[in-house]
Structures are given as C-alpha cells and as structure tokens.
Structure 1
Amino acid sequence: MKHHTNHHAHMAADFRKRFWIALVLTIPILILSPLLQELVGLRDTIRFSGDLYVLFGLSTAVFFYGGWPFLKGLFQELASKQPGMMTLVSVAITTAYIYSSAVVFGLTGKVFFWELATLVDVMLLGHWIEMKSVMGASKALEALAKLMPSDAHKLMPDGSVKDVPLGELAVDDQVLIKPGEKIPADGVIVNGESAVNEAMLTGESTPVTKKTNDKVIGGAINGEGSLTIAVKGTGKDSFLSQVIDLVKQAQESKSKTQDLANTAAMWLTLIALSGGAITFFIWQGIMGRDLSFAIERAVTVMVIACPHALGLAVPLVIAVSTALAASNGLLIRNRPAFERARKVQAIIFDKTGTLTEGRFGVTDTLLFSQDIDENTLHQYAASVEANSEHPIAKAIAASSDNKLPIENFRGIAGKGAEAWVEGKEIKVVSPGFLREQDIGMDDKRVEELKAQGKTVVFVLFDGQLKGAIALADIIRPESKQAIAALKAMGIKCIMLTGDNKQVAQWVSDQVGLDEFFAEVLPQDKAAKVKEVQSRGKLVAMTGDGVNDAPALAQADLGIAIGAGSDVAVETADVILVRSNPLDVVALLNLSKATYAKMIQNLVWATGYNAFAIPLAAGALYSWGVLLSPALGAALMAASTVIVAINARLLTISRSPVAVEVLPDHKLGGESAK
C-alpha cells in the first residue's frame, strides 16, 4: 500500500514540476508566435532577427521536457498493442512540432508552436489533477494505516510497565491502555471497563462499552477508563492490517465496467487517429485548403478525442467507493460480485447471529397473582439465576439490575434453580417441574408463547405460582428496519434457520419477512440458496461466515455479517464488520450509487468526444465555428476534472435509495456469478 501511494505521489510531483517549467517557457512562446502577434496588432513591434529560431528552441524544450511523459507513454502503449490516450497526445504534439519545425527551416506554412506548448501545459495540468485525485481517493486507507500508535505500555512479569515498539509485542502479552489512548493491538480485555470509539474501523459513531472478556480492535480509541488487554493479533494478523489488505486488493481488482471503459478507449483511439487522417485528406485533398489548415484540423481532432477522462472514469470511482466502504465497515473482497449487488432480487438471511443476536433474552412476562408486579418478579428471579451459568439463567439474571442477597442456592437438576431471598423460598423452574409437582397451569397465554417457539420458565414464591417469564433469541433492533428498507427496494427477503417452524414464524412475523425456510441443517443451506436461484433470481446470502460458508459460496453475492475482528472470511464476497443488518442496505445502495457514478462518467467522457470531434474536424466551418487545438485541450481537461469531481461526490446511505442507472443492455450486460 505504501509503495502504491508513493508511486502516485512521485507521479503527481513529476507532473507538477513539468507543468510549471513548461508554463514558464510557454509565456515567451506566446509572445513570439506570429499568429498571436497579429491578433494583438504588435507583429512589427515584437519581431526581431532570429526570433523564429528562439521560438523553435523554446518549443523544442517544451516538446521534449513537457511532452516526455506522453512520448514515453506512446512507446509503452504501442509495445502492449493497446493504443490509448498517450498515443493520441503524442501523435498530436509530434505532428505539430515536426510540421512547425519544417516551417521554421524553409517550408511554406504557419507555425503551431503556441498550440503545441499550450496543449502540453493543459495535458500536464490534467495529469497533475488526476494524480492528486487518485491520491485523495486513497486517503481513507492512509488514515487507517495511521491509526496505530507507535508504541505500547507492556506489563512486565515483575509488575512494572515498559513502553515498547509495536513490533516487539507478541500474542498473550498484556498491555495497559490509559484513558484517551489508541489501542495498540487486537486483544481481549482482562481487566477494566471503558467506552471504546471504533468509528474509523467500523463506521459506528457511538462509543461501544467494553468490559472483561470483550474483544478490542487495534487502532480504536479508549475512552474514560483504563484497560488491560491480552494481545491476540499483531502485525499482519491484526484486524487493521487485514482491512488495509482487503481494501487494497479491491481497489486494484479488475472491474467489469473497467473492461467496458478500456474497450471504449481503444476504439476512441482508433476513431481519433483515423478521424485525424480523414480530416486531413478531406481538407487538403478534396476541399483544396492549404497544408497548415488541414494539419491544424487533423491535430485538433486527435487532441479533442483524447480518452483522458475515459481512462479516469472507472478507476477513480472504484478507489473512492472502496475507501468509502472500508471507512463504513463494509469490506469488499470480490469487486465483480460487489458490482452485481445492485441487481440483487432476493436476500437470504441466516437467523441466528444475523437477524437475531444469537443469545437468549426476556421477551414476555406473565403475572398470575395480583400481589406482585413485573419488576419484583424479575428482581427475585434474577437474584436466584445470577448464581447459574445456564444460558437461560444468564438471560433472566440480566433482566434486572437490582439483585438481592440470597441464601442456600441449589440447582434442581434439569429443572431450574432455587434459593432463599428476603425470607422467601424462590424457585425458577421449567414446565417439567410443574408437572412433577402436580402444579396446575392452564393459562392460554403460556400456550401462545410456546406456539411461538419461546422458552417459558415459571417463578414460585413459597410454593405458590406467581408468574412466568418467556425467553427467545433476541431479534436485533435494526433487523425490522433493514427488512423494510430492502422490501422498499423491491428485494424479496427470506430467512434460513435450523429452528422449528414456530420459532421461524415468530421471527418472520416480527421483522416482516416474505418467506422462511425452517429446520434446515447447515449442510443443506446451499441447496436452499440454489432453490431460490432456480426461480430466476439473483440471490445474496447473508450469514456469519462460518457454518454458512457453503451457502455464501453458492450465492451470487456472499455477505459475511458481524465478522468482528475475524475479517478473513474466504467464502464471502463482502464482509460487514458490524453485526448490523442495516449495513446490507448500505452495501446495496453503495453498489447502485457506484455503478451510477461509473455510467455517468463513461457517458460524459464518451459523449463529450462524440460532440467535440465533428467540431474539431470543421463540420461547422461554413458557420464560422472552429475549435483550435488549445481550446480542444482545455475542453478535454475540463472533462477530466468533471469526471474526478463526480467520483468524489459518491456517498453511502443505510436507507432505501432510488438510483437512476442505464439499462444493462446498453452496456453489453454482465454474466452472473
């Protein structure tokens, strides 16, 4: 990445230097040009003996020094048998230079040195702007690379703290992070609690509360608390390094739309060269105009047709979109698949860990006695269950922050737990315990909760049934919003789960899915993806990237969601750092917006040429309309700047967005994955 960035920086500096030197030399060239002297009425005042030789010398310097990048590019393009923009520029300035030099040394005609010089100036300026734009598109990656601090506070075996360079950290080393400092490496918190700002890594603006056993990512900023972490990932194994590598690969990967741009550039080169030759032949051979006029028209045609903007149209959008995606927690691994995302017609979500949080939580509370309220029921039940490690017990324990002291805690094997709380015998038990103890329960609400696939536990006070607590896998709060946004975009939303139909139906109803597949074994998920594809739909699969791997690979677009610090998910085309289904919406919107920007740039770059080439050839000459080579170069440079600015206007949205794009058949279509 560093070499890649340095290359662009060197090129930008080179073009900048050549531009300023050529511009300084152009001023006397303009003053000494006979045509400009006539235009301002100073021909007799400025002329002196040998002035044309001085003009020739200055123009030679501009041609060889200022024009060298284009002359070098000509040989490179011809060697690769891919004539392009460099070929056009080189032919244009070489034609002008050779013809004008011949006039200086005796040939009858006009000199075009000022057109040559101004063309070189404008082309150098355009390339300088291009390089600066490309460098700007990589600034998000540079910012990522700068996130890491230079050293870390390593805890030594004797309890002391030593500042060491990051390169000296090893896995399982313990590191102290003070308030406000950057986290030096991926790791797990072994002591302390704090709010951590991961905005530059995940796009999540709100600081995330982290406590013991939580993972932290190197480069994130610690908040108000001190943390001690055990290092788990350093160097190339760190989350940040993997992100930078993935983004770099995506920026450099081949785009299908880029193939179209390259093809257009090649044809435009052939059209320009043949157009220049035809223009010269018509004006010189058929219309009988003088040689200098015919050459001027031919040169202008070749200048105006330079596919300068076309060459920048797609690569700059790719660079901007990839960096924008990375800074928002969307990591693109497979660019052609990302470009297909705009055409997705159906999305299949894995349930656990994707639409849901993958952990039990309290969803409903039932009261069977008027002498107790919900808060009290939860407080007593949570106090008992706080001593158990069972997932259901942990969920109940988390339902109340005001726990009470307990005595004589005892687990009831396979049935629940009991303890004394404030002099009361509290039992939190399963339906099986009620049957064993012959405790009657005929409340219809309990059956309704069970029908939804929820787990129901009962709370007894001194042997009396006081209430029930229903639990289920907690649905992510963003899931309903994401599904609504996707459906608004006309995308069919489907869920895959190994759970029974009742659970699947409940989740489906809660988030508003179109369809679901229940009781699906992990090895059968890919077959379900294939089934939806057989309906003629382009399918995206969204899962956790582990047991969903075959399904992610089968889908036209595989999205690994909630990958956290495990970003190297080989089967996914796109990795979403956060466990937020709304990022799927952002991904599809970005794909559409990226494609739209590419097409806008391609249409502008080619449409401008289609309009300008006839004018350059002299099609409207009888109406007094002619484009000079310098004006042609200025228009071409303006086209390049517009393309660069348009690419930088790319934005990302997590709401349903309608993006205008051209129909695929106008672009030659794309094949499915």
Structure 2
Amino acid sequence: MKESMNHENMKHEGHGEHHAHMVEDFKKRFWISLIFTFPILILSPLIQNILKISEVLSFNGSLYVLFGLSTFVYFYGGYPFLKGFSNEMKTKKPGMMTLIAIAISTAYLYSSIVVFGLEGKIFFWELATLIDIMLLGHWIEMKSIMGASKALEELAKLMPSEAHKIMSDGTLKDVPLQELQPGDIVVVKPGEKIPADGVVIEGETSINESMLTGESKPVPKKTGSMVIGASVNGEGSVNVKVQKTGKDSFLSQVIDLVKEAQESKSKTQDLANRAAVWLTIIALSGGAITFFVWIVLMGKDIAFALERTVTVMVITCPHALGLAVPLVVAVSTAIAAKNGFLIRERSAFERARNLQAVIFDKTGTLTEGRFGVTNIIRLSIDFTEQEILEYAASVELHSEHPIAKAIATASDKHIKIEEFKAIPGKGAEAKVNGKHVMVVSPGFLREKGIKVENKKISEIMSEGKTVVYILIDGELKGAIGLADIIRAESKEAVAKLKEMGIKCMMLTGDNKQVAQWVSKEVGLDEYFAEVLPQEKSKKVKEIQSRNLVVAMTGDGVNDAPALVQSDVGIAIGAGTDVAVESADIVLVRNDPRDVATIISLAKTTYKKMVQNLAWATGYNAVAIPLAAGVLYSNGILLDPAMGAALMSLSTVIVAINAKLLRIGKQ
C-alpha cells in the first residue's frame, strides 16, 4: 500500500516544497530590492529636486550609477513578473503579471534611453518602488494562502507501517506493509489498525470504520466479515486473510477520488487579476492614443509625446493595486485565525460569499462522532430511570465494547459488582447489590423468546438508535437507547444559515432512520442517507448540477473527495488530517456555527476587496486623462511627481480601509 502511494506522496511533497520556495523567493527579492531602492531614490533627479538636495548628492556619472542600480532591481526584483508575463502570454490569459511587466518595462526602457541621450524625465524611482510594492503584495498574498493540499500524503499515513504476519511455520513475524500479498494471514490486536482489506477468518471484535465510511456505530466483526485497511480494531483480537493491497484497496480508491476531484476543480481568476486585465487594456490603448494624439494631431516632438505616453502607462499600474487584495486577505486571515478559522485557499474563501447550499457530514460534524445515551425507558415500576442506568453502567464499566463504554460514562455513580461475565456478541452480566443484572442486545431477547411491546422503544428504534435491555433477576426492567450524540450547536448553526438564505443538507453513510432523526432534530432542508464514500463526491456534483454554489463540511477520510469536489471545502479541525488537508477552510473548533460565521466574514472581506480596488484604480479616472494632457491647453499637466503623490494617497487609503475590516470585526 505504502509503496503504491510513494509516487503520489513525492509529487505532493514536491508541490508543497515548490510553494514554500516561491514564498521565500518573493521575500528575499523584496528585501534585496528594497535595500537597492534607497540609493535609487536618493540619486533620482526628481527626488533630489523635491528634497532640494541635488547640489549635495550630484556627482559626475551619478546617472550611470542610478542606471546600474535600477537595472539590477528591474531584472532581479522584476524577474517573477517578467516570467509571469511570459507565462500569461503563452496561455493567452493576461492578468496582474502582464500589467506589472508592462509598467516596469516601460519605465525601465524609457528611463534608460533618457540616461543615454533622449530628452525627458527619468522613471527609475517609479520602477523600483513599483517592484518593491508588488513583491511585498505577492509575498503577503502567497504567505497567507500557503499550505497546498497534502491530502494524498495524509491518506497514506493512515495505514500502519507493519503487519503481524502468520508465517508458513505458524510463527508470527512483523513485516513491512508493502510485503503483504493477497492470501497472507495477519493478526490484528485490540486497538491496532487493520493493515489491509480482507476477511476475518478467526475471532470476534468490533471495528471503528467511521473515519473511512462515515458509519458512526462500531461495526461487529466475526468469521466471514469483511474489514477495511486503516480502520481501527476494537476490543478483540482477530486473524484476517488479506484480499486487497496497493491500488486495489479501499483506501487507494479514496486517494484516486481525491486526486481526480483536485484535478477537475476549476481555478477561477481572482478579483485583482480581473481588474488587472482591464487596466492592461487601458494602459496599452491609453498610451497608444496619447502618443498618436501628441505626435499626429498636436504636432509635438517625440520626446514630449514619449514622456506623456510613459507617464500614462506607468500611472495606470497603481502601487495600491498590488496591496489592495493582499492586505485585505492578510487582515481577514488574522481575524479568521483569532476566531478559530484557517483559510487555506483564498479563491474558495472568496466564493464562500456566494454559497447557496451547505452540505454537512453527519458523524463528527453535526454529531459528536461518539455513542451516548439518549433515552432511558422504564419497563417496570420497581426501578427508577436513574436506578436502571446506574445498574447498567455498573455492569458495563467492566466491558471494553464501545456501546458499553457509552453506558458506563452516562452515569456518575457506579455500584460495586461481583461475578462479571461477558456474553459473547450479546452483552454482559454481573451481580449488583446482590441482584443478577444483565445488559443485553435485542438478539439475546429473541434467542430467549422474550417479547417486548413498548411504544417508546418502537419510536427510538424507528429513529435508528441502538437499544439495549436490562434484565434484573431474570425479569425485563428497562431499556436504554443510544445514538451518535447531536452537537448542541448544530440546530443553531442550521438556523443561522437558513436566515442567510442558504439551504442546509446532510450526507451520511448511516441508515435512513438515523439520518431522518438527525435531520428532523436540527432542522435540515434535505438529507442523503446510506451514501457510500465513493458516492459522496458524486452526490456533491449532483447538487452542484442544480446550479447551486455548494460547500461541503466534514471531518473524515470518507469526506475528502467531497471536500475537494465542492466549491468550498470546510473541514472540522479536530477531524482527520486528510479532511483538513483536502479542505479550503478549516474550523479549528468542533462548532458547526462557525460555518455561518466564516461565510459572513467572506461577504465582508469581499466588500473590502471591492472597495480597495475602487480606491486603487479609481484615481486613474482622473490621473490618466491629466497625464495624457487633456487639460494641457489650460496649463494643467500631471507630471510624474504629482502622479506619485496620487499613487501614495491611494496606497494609504487602501491600507487604512483594510485595517477597518479588523476594527469592524473585533
């Protein structure tokens, strides 16, 4: 199994390392470029004139030193954007990289020509500061969304590293998992993970398959029962004959589903990129029109026309655009972290504002994923409900079965017992306060011919709950109903989402009766029961085909493909690492109400992004015509210094507005 997954692990580890390397690369380029920017600013004639330090800092060859420093910043700091521009051109999808590359290249080439003889202004300081701001913006952005999916790696980790194989001479030997072959017999001890898909050939136990199948109830296993690799063995030791390993195993099929969903998930352009496309068009067309008008219609010389053209094209790429979205992302990510949310995929977080349906996994998400006592029923006036529970809990305290543990923990009081005995597959018995107490399954009653006719018991059984019976001195005195405990917060979470106009649904591997009971209790719009793990992602697709934007919330391995398939995957943080790594957003707390909170934050964050982009690009409506010279006849011409002032103002406004998101949510 592990051997068959090594290739996928290496591929995903490589992707994560590449992403981390890119973050470090942007960080390094930013700091180095920033260091070189200071002398560029000091040596720039425009800055020297503004600060009135030209006489102090001017020297022969200063322009060539300025050219050299700027050349380094252009090629070293600007490399990611020039490379990104090349990639966007190859895919014919211009975006932010194209806009930045055009602005810095125009400023660099024009300024270089001016240094070597053309009359005009130098834009090297614009070039350097623009590169610094864009590097900072991309560094912040990539750092905030870092954490590419490691789902396949985490899935492989679920398998144990070794198996206890029974050799041909009858001896027991621990062997690496990849050495297992169909037909091998392995021993699985209590509490261990099943090493491969197979069939029980000796022994009895119960197995927790909830992480893989979503089935909340521990599944009893005896000779002839099928078992799934990576599920957890309960109280008994069993011998298992291996049937499937490697790519044929259940877990490997889940891995394939996750991979398939990851590859088919569409990557939408983010908001800033969409703005960049339009600004690129404006920059190119605005520059061309400006040059044409001044040369052909106004009869100006090439030097003047070029200066106006370059001013227009540089001003079109505002510094603030590089920070408009990343700053909001960084602030919203910090707010989310304080509230127990981890945003792993920004584009999905943006999509969350448009959600129309939220699908919840049942086990571990709407419910606690553990059995608990939900009903105590008296079948005799001799004992109170509390006494029935205390007697049953006292007996079950000495049993390792998950249902027994649930009953034992339901009572604060435990009475000393004598002569405890397990009834294999049927329950347990002991002497409590001198009385013979038996806690048994419905199968035991059928075996003994004991009939039970009780309306309350029929009701809880119709809800899919597990029922055990308590016999005291051979007479039926009570019954206890158990089920996967519904979280206290689930009902409120569903109500909040409904107020937001979002449909609430549930997917579960549990039976219809259990699903119907949970759905009714928490107020869901729809539920889908007995859904196999491999069908969960298909069910999400089916709901998406109704033209709904869908979020999936889950915590188990079986939820991973559905989390990736959904428009927004939300994982409960206390669930498996696989679910967490497959999700776009992780809820650290086991509180479904956080789903509504994260959607609300997504809506607020998106509004801030739109506002920031409006500030970042809005000044272009004024600056570009002025830079082009539409009011030249009135003596008004926007020079680079004024353009820089406008850029700085928009950057400050963007930063303050992003911070207001923090203030608004605290």
Answer with 94-103 or 632-641: which moved more: 94-103
Match of 2:439 among 421, 428, 439: 428
* Whole-angstrom CA distance in 1 between matches of 2:656 and 2:75: 28
Question: Which residue does 1:21 correspond to in 2?
Answer: 39
The residue correspondences of 1:476-515 to structure 2 (distance < 5 A) are 476-515=487-526
TM-score for the superposition, normalised by structure 2? 0.64
Contact persistence 1:529–1:551 (CA under 8 A): yes
Rounded to whole Å, the distance in 2 between the matches of 1:625 and 1:65 is 33
Deviation at 1:261, TM superposition (A): 4.4
- Residue 73 of structure 2 corresponds to 69
* Deviations 1:196-216, CA, capped at 9 Å, x for gaps: xxxxxxxxxxxxxxxxxxxxx
> What SS does the corresponding residue of 1:377 show, helix, strand or coil?
helix
In structure 2, relative to structure 1, the CA distance for the partners of 1:132 and 1:386 (3 Å cut) is same
**Structure-2 residue corresponding to 1:168:** none
What does 1:161-172 align with in structure 2 at a 5 Å threshold? Answer: none
How far apart, in 1, do the equivalents of 2:645 and 2:542 lie? 55
Deviations 1:458-505 (A, max 9, x none): 334445655432211111233223322322222211223344443222
Equivalent position of 2:22 in the other structure = 4
Matching of residue 84 in structure 1 with residue 96 in structure 2:
no
Q: Which residue number corresponds to residue 517 of structure 1?
A: 528
CA 1:55–1:306 in structure 2 vs 1: closer, same or farther (change >3 Å)?
Answer: farther
Letter in 1 for 2:400: E
Q: CA deviation at 1:507?
A: 0.7
2:616 to 600, 605, 615: 605
How far off is 1:612 after superposition?
A: 1.7
SS at match of 1:458: strand
Deviations 1:501-536 (A, max 9, x none): 432221111111112233445555455445434433
User: What pairs up with 1:78-157 in 2 under 5 angstroms?
Assistant: 84-92=99-107, 95=110, 98=113, 102=117, 112=121, 116=122, 120-121=124-125, 123-125=127-129, 127-132=131-136, 134-135=138-139
SS at match of 1:398: helix
Partner AA of 1:478 in structure 2: E
Change (3 A) 1:62 1:554: closer
Distance 2:537 2:47 in 1: 70
What is the Cα-based RMSD across aligned positions, in Å? 4.9
What's the counterpart of residue 465 of structure 2? 454
Q: Structure 1 stretch 355-364 or stretch 86-95: which is displaced more? A: 86-95
User: How far does residue 635 in structure 1 lie from its aligned partner after superposition?
Assistant: 1.9
**Residue aligned with 1:634, SS:** helix
Amino acid in structure 1 at the alignment position of 2:496? A
2:487 aligned with 1:472: no
In the other structure, the counterpart of 1:407 is 418
Distance in 1, matches of 2:21 and 2:507, equals 44
Structure 2 match to 1:58: 62
How big is the shift at 1:89?
A: 4.1
Q: Distance in 2 between matches of 1:269 and 1:558?
A: 33
Relative to the length of structure 1, the TM-score reads 0.63
Contact kept? 1:85, 1:306, Cα under 8 Å: yes
Which of residues 363, 366, 371 is equivalent to 2:374?
363
Query: What is the deviation of 1:625?
Result: 4.2
1:21–1:474 Cα change, 3 Å: same
Are the structure 2 counterparts of residues 266 and 521 from structure 1 closer, same or farther at C-alpha, using a change threshold of 3 Å?
A: closer
Uncovered stretches (5+) of structure 1, i.e. residues with no partner: 144-170, 172-187, 190-245, 658-673
CA contact (8 A) 1:361 1:471 kept: yes
SS in 1 for 2:421: strand
Q: Give yes or no for the alignment of 1:257 onto 2:269.
A: yes
Residue matched to 1:282: 293
Question: For the structure 1 residues 92 and 454, does the alpha-carbon distance in structure 2 shift closer, same or farther, using more than 3 Å as the test?
Answer: closer
Change in 2 beyond 3 A, CA 1:255/1:643: farther
Q: Pairwise mapping of residues 639-650 of structure 1 onto structure 2 (< 5 A)?
A: 639-640=650-651, 642-643=653-654
Distance 1:596 1:611 in 2: 23
Pick closer, same or farther for the CA change 1:360–1:615 going to 2, 3 Å: same
- The aligned length equals 526
Whole-Å separation in 2 of the counterparts to 1:263 and 1:540: 24
- Counterparts in 2 of 1:30 and 1:343: CA distance versus 1, 3 Å: closer
Native 8 Å contact 1:129 1:641 kept in 2? no
1:639 is aligned with what amino acid? S
Q: Distance in 1 between matches of 2:272 and 2:137?
A: 19
Establish whether residue 377 from structure 1 lines up as the match of residue 388 from structure 2.
yes
**Is 1:546 aligned with 2:564?**
no
Residue deviations 1:55-81 (CA, integer Å, cap 9, x gap)? 774344334424642377499478776
Q: Which runs of 5+ in 2 are unaligned?
A: 1-16, 148-175, 177-190, 193-257
Show the counterpart of 2:244.
none
Any idea what the Cα deviations from partners look like across 1:120-146, whole Å, max 9, x if unmatched?
A: 445534544554555556677999xxx
The answer as to whether partners of 2:467 and 2:482 remain within 8 angstroms in 1 is yes
Indicate how the Cα distance of structure 1 residues 380 and 311 shifts in structure 2: closer, same or farther if over 3 A, else same. Answer: same
After superposition, the C-alpha distances for 1:1-51 in whole angstroms (9 at most, x for unaligned) are 66434423332332332232233335x8766x6xx79xx9x9xxx99xxx9
- In structure 2, the CA distance between the partners of 1:349 and 1:264, relative to structure 1 (3 Å rule), is closer
Cα 1:609–1:364, aligned 2, differ >3 Å: closer, same or farther? same
Residue among 396, 400, 419 paired with 1:389: 400
- Contact 2:442 2:468 (8 Å CA) reproduced: yes
Map Cα deviations across residues 378-401 of structure 1 (whole Å, 9 max, x no partner). Answer: 332211111122332111011123
Whole-Å separation in 1 of the counterparts to 2:32 and 2:439: 76
Q: Give the partner amino acid of 1:377.
A: I
Deviates more, 1:461-470 or 1:416-425: 461-470
In the alignment, the residues of structure 1 paired with residue 139 and residue 536 of structure 2 have an alpha-carbon distance, to the nearest angstrom, of 43
Identity between Structure 1 and Structure 2 (%): 55
Relative to structure 1, the CA distance from residue 69 to residue 385 in structure 2 (aligned partners, 3 Å threshold; closer, same or farther) is: same
Q: CA deviation at 1:297?
A: 3.7
Cα distance in 1 for partners of 2:115, 2:566 equals: 62
Partner deviation per Cα, 1:206-240 (whole Å, 9 max, x = no partner)? xxxxxxxxxxxxxxxxxxxxxxxxxxxxxxxxxxx
Q: Distance in 2 between matches of 1:534 and 1:479?
A: 26
User: What is the DSSP-based 3-state SS (H/G/I as helix, E as strand, rest coil) of the residue aligned with 1:616?
Assistant: helix
Q: 1:418 aligns with which of 410, 421, 429?
A: 429
- Matches of 1:79 and 1:383, distance apart in 2: 73
Secondary structure of the 2:413 match is coil
8 A Cα contact 2:140 2:327, kept in partner: no
Cα drift, residue 420 of structure 1: 1.6
